[in-house]
Structure 1
Amino acid sequence: MLAECLPHYEEHLRLQRNLSEHTIRAYLGDLTALFSHSATLGITSVDQLTLAAIRSWLATQQSKGGARTTIARRAVAVRTFTAWATKNNLMTEDVGERLATPKSQRTLPTVLTVSETEEVFNSLESALGEESELHAMRNIAIIELLYSTGIRVSELCGVDLEDIDRARNTIRVFGKGRKERTVPLGAPALKAIDRWISDARASYVSSTSGLALFLGARGKRIDPRTVREVVYSALQALPNAPKFGPHGLRHSAATHLLERGADLRTVQEILGHASLATTQIYTHVSEERLKAAYKQAHPRA
């Protein structure tokens, strides 16, 4: 059976490749879909997989309206699998090696202005006393931390109490591939975190809490879905609320850093990007905003 190798492959992704749970789920989902498609072509074992079958599956995904970025990721998932399968003698030839990755068109991310960011924080602070105050304290600390550091939602969920260094105003996070990095932490974010820890966190604690900084309703470590809901709710304070989640705050933080003079290498280190090219998209965002402001304000624009 095609899927019989997946538990072993999952173990490889987790222990050898050290990938995040989100990436592992995505890769396994992609392979399950590929195997289902391959079965309709009469392919019943991994060593029968062909480049034509893989291309046929990707073409089917594209015809169903799959985004270019999604198709590109699925191609990477397949190539990673066939390389592993060949190395482990499940395939005689690495057919995925000849699979081209569709080039995705990168769109400029939507970001908040600095004034919009302040508006969100002011709205959150005014909500104290109106809703569950303990809940509000946690949510403010989450939003402050995301914007202050630009960390990913998965990184925020993984933060422990001991990861905060108050003497240095930094926080330790573990990014993609469990790569550790230290990120500067702004004073407002640290203040919000300390308020959450001293005044509210104890009310959430359960036997499953461990050292997790942020906790969900049942006392477990907070999950990405809850964090996204917190961000979506917070952004409703804006008149024309953009439809983005935690990653939108990451985009905003990076753009604001560059607009206020931070160099590209520094922003790359803060965000934990492996490649400087990934960070460079924020320079384009800043340029577009600069052009828009010029066009609106200059009398001879």
Structure 2
Amino acid sequence: MDRLIERFIHYLAVERGLSQNTLESYQRDLIAYTEFLRKNGISDINQTRRANIIAYLAEMQKMGRATSTISRTLASTRAFYGFLLRDGLIDGDPTSNLESPKIEKRLPQVLSVKDVEVLLESPDLRTHTGLRDKAMLELLYASGIRVSELVSLNLEDVNLNMGFLKCYGKGAKERIIPLGGVALKMLGEYLNRARHKLVRDETELSLFVNHHGQRLTRQGFWKIIKKYAKTANIQIKITPHTLRHSFATHLLENGADLRSVQEMLGHADISTTQIYTHITKSRLKEVYAKTHPRA
């Protein structure tokens, strides 16, 4: 079963072009699932039945796993069996007709415009790392790109003269995103004054590097934004996607159309983008309740 998982992950990487984070997620789900099968005396993937999968999902529920985690696990398992069936490695798909548990969509936390301003003003521009951090935060809020896309950027992906960046989202899909004046200015400051001080190898292509002069990681950025959230005394829980959510919400609140926001975020389905309209509606209700004399 381990070899079959390796084949499946290779297929997802080569044929589907999925990101490293997504590949690791699939792999973790499937390794945990096959370990469950082995504990229950199943060593051949052809021996699995619908009841085995239901039993595994039930065990996850008993362990207190979130509905979203259980749903994702079923999606990973379903994709795995679909791959095996297409390659003629199994006779039937035991996940067919299995319904995914319904997930209650949680509205993402977003920062107010004031909180964004305080957060973006937190880095110390007298230091090389402060210039880097300021450029990263401004770029995230200006473009709405994912953190994984941010740390994957190379020097060639940013065009300061034309005022845009190029990034590759899920499925290696390329998109071009315009940048505002503040983000462009800070990127220029970082490139002119700081990056060459941080880089140790002149052949390094990464746009943003750590103190070792190597590509900054998602984990590295996560530590950075948590530090500045604490400095700025941000009260809501910050996640790596907080600026992305705030970017989308603030655009819609100021009149941007949903299709344009969808394009900038890189959402394949507009229904994913529509969650931000719920946020803006809930904010309107709050404003109404606070300000209308008969609310």
Band the TM-score falls in, shorter-chain normalisation: over 0.9
Structure-2 residue corresponding to 1:211 = 205
Bigger shift: residues 20-29 or 45-54? 45-54
Range 20-29 or range 112-121, more displaced: 112-121
Q: Which residue of 1 aligns with 2:259?
A: 265
Q: Aligned AA for 1:278?
A: T
- The 5-angstrom pairing of residues 122-161 of structure 1 reads 122-124=121-123, 127-129=124-126, 133-161=127-155
Structure 1 209/233 Cα, relative in aligned 2: closer, same or farther at 3 Å?
A: farther
* Alpha-carbon spacing, 1:58–1:141, altered in 2? closer, same or farther (3 Å): same
Q: How far, CA to CA, are the matches of 1:90 and 1:118 in structure 2?
A: 55
1:222 pairs with one of 209, 213, 216: 216
Distance 1:192 1:59 in 2: 51
Aligned AA (2:18)? L
- One-letter code of the match for 2:167? V
Q: How big is the shift at 1:208? A: 8.5
Q: Corresponding residue for 2:193?
A: 199
Q: C-alpha deviations, 1:220-252, integer Å up to 9, x for none?
A: 111111111111111123334322222011000
Distance 2:241 2:186 in 1: 20
| Stretches of structure 2 lacking an aligned partner (at least 5 in a row) | none
TM-score by length of 2: 0.96
Does the 8 A contact of 1:155 with 1:174 survive in 2?
A: yes
What is the CA-CA distance between 1:191 and the residue it aligns to?
1.0
Number of residue-to-residue matches in the alignment: 295
Cα distance per residue 1:130-164 (max 9 Å; x no partner): xxx01111111111111110000111011111111
Q: Secondary structure at the match of 2:175?
A: strand
Please name the residue that 2:120 is paired with.
121
Out of 182-191 and 230-239, give the one that drifted further.
230-239
In the TM superposition, what are the counterparts of 1:1-301 in structure 2 within 5 Å?
Answer: 2-124=1-123, 127-129=124-126, 133-207=127-201, 210-301=204-295
Root mean square deviation of aligned Cα? 1.4
Shift of residue 200 of structure 1?
Answer: 0.8
Which amino acid in 2 is paired with 1:170?
F
> How far apart in 2 are the matches of 1:209 and 1:177?
27
Letter in 1 for 2:188: D
8 Å Cα contact 1:173/1:180 also seen in 2: yes
Percentage of matched positions with identical amino acids: 38
* Residue identity matched to 1:228: W
TM-score w.r.t. structure 1 length? 0.94
Unaligned runs of 5+ in 1: none
Q: Which moved more, 1:146-155 or 1:242-251?
A: 242-251
For 1:122 and 1:180, the matched residues in 2 are separated by 30
How far residue 209 of structure 1 moved from its aligned partner, in angstroms, is 6.0
Q: Kindly indicate whether the alpha-carbon contact (under 8 Å) linking 1:232 and 1:243 is maintained by their aligned counterparts in 2.
A: no
